[in-house]
Amino acid sequence: MKFVTKVGLIAFFAVIAFYGLYMHSVSMMGVSSTFAQEADHDADSDHDHISESSTMFKGSIFHITQPGLPTGSARLQETHTAPPGPWVLQGAWKLKVDQAAEALKSFEANLSMVRSSEPTAGLLGGGTLRNWHAMQISMESGEVINVDGETLHVLGDAIISSNGNEQFGLGAPESVEIILSGGGGLNPAHIAIWFDTNPEAITNTQFIQGTPTPKNARVHFGGVLFGTVDREK
């Protein structure tokens, strides 16, 4: 009888020990899973999160305002910038669209702009001759049109900043059309940023009548900017 009792007690404690080990293992697995999920989230936080319905494009701008502007185009009325160029623009841009909803989610371009027509003037010390400055273009909403799967058109209003201060598009909308082309709507090669605001519209918060200050971003940039799309997104 005593032997049976001892065997029963041993089996009882063994079951308790096994259950404790099992619960501890389950708990550790849950913690590990949580840390794995957090690690994945942290890893994703280093990149732009894109939903299944969203497409992101990015690339570079390298554009000389003049000479070299398109000619014979009814869309482009002006052939000069204000103040006079030629100006070199270089920088990066990023565009996120929801093609299913045909809507723009965001567009940002960060550009460096410098006048190149004075080779004897210092890059930063040339004053008004070189006039180096930074430009930012941003759009938060707009319409997306996929034309036969060949070109992607994004239409909306933009805010354009100079050296970090909002300058164009505050008093009146600065209409912009972005066209991605070459390689189809999902894998384009080129970007063209068209400024469609009326050339006489005053959207520049710093405009002074009777001076060469541009009335709007269209006049400032010369009507259009060109660039490329990264092939690897």
What pLDDT, on a 0 to 100 scale, did the predictor assign at position 121? 55
Region of residue 129 (phi > 0: left; psi between -120 and 50: alpha; otherwise: beta) = alpha
Peptide bond into 173 cis (omega under 30): no
Average pLDDT over every residue of 169-192: 90
Strands 190-195 vs 174-181: parallel, antiparallel or unpaired = antiparallel
Comparing 8-17, 26-35, 123-132, which segment has the lowest mean pLDDT? 26-35
How confident is residue 29, by pLDDT bands cut at 50, 70 and 90? very low
What pLDDT, on a 0 to 100 scale, did the predictor assign at position 15? 44
- The pLDDT tens digits for 96-133 are 999 788 999 999 999 999 887 655 655 554 455 678 89
Task: Give the residue, 128 or 138, on which the prediction is more confident.
Answer: 138
Report d(CA 228, CA 217) in Å as an integer.
21
Mean pLDDT, the chain, integer: 76
Among residues of the chain, what percentage have pLDDT more than 90? 44
What pLDDT, on a 0 to 100 scale, did the predictor assign at position 81? 81
Residue 77, Cβ density class (10 Å: 0-12 exposed, 13-18 middle, ≥19 buried): exposed
Query: Taking a C-beta distance cutoff of 8 angstroms, is the pair 172, 203 a contact?
Result: yes
- The pLDDT tens digits for 44-100 are 433 333 345 688 999 999 998 876 555 556 677 766 787 777 889 999 999 999 978
Classified as helix, coil or strand, 122 is coil
What pLDDT, on a 0 to 100 scale, did the predictor assign at position 19? 47
Average pLDDT over every residue of 179-202: 90
What pLDDT, on a 0 to 100 scale, did the predictor assign at position 31? 30
Tokens 């971003």 belong to 217
What pLDDT, on a 0 to 100 scale, did the predictor assign at position 53? 66
Distances (CA, A) of 223 to 92, 112, 197: 19, 17, 9
Classified as helix, coil or strand, 81 is coil
Cβ-proximal residues to 216 (8 Å cutoff; 6+ apart), any chain:
168, 172, 174, 195, 197, 198, 199, 201, 202, 203, 204
Q: The pTM is what?
A: 0.72
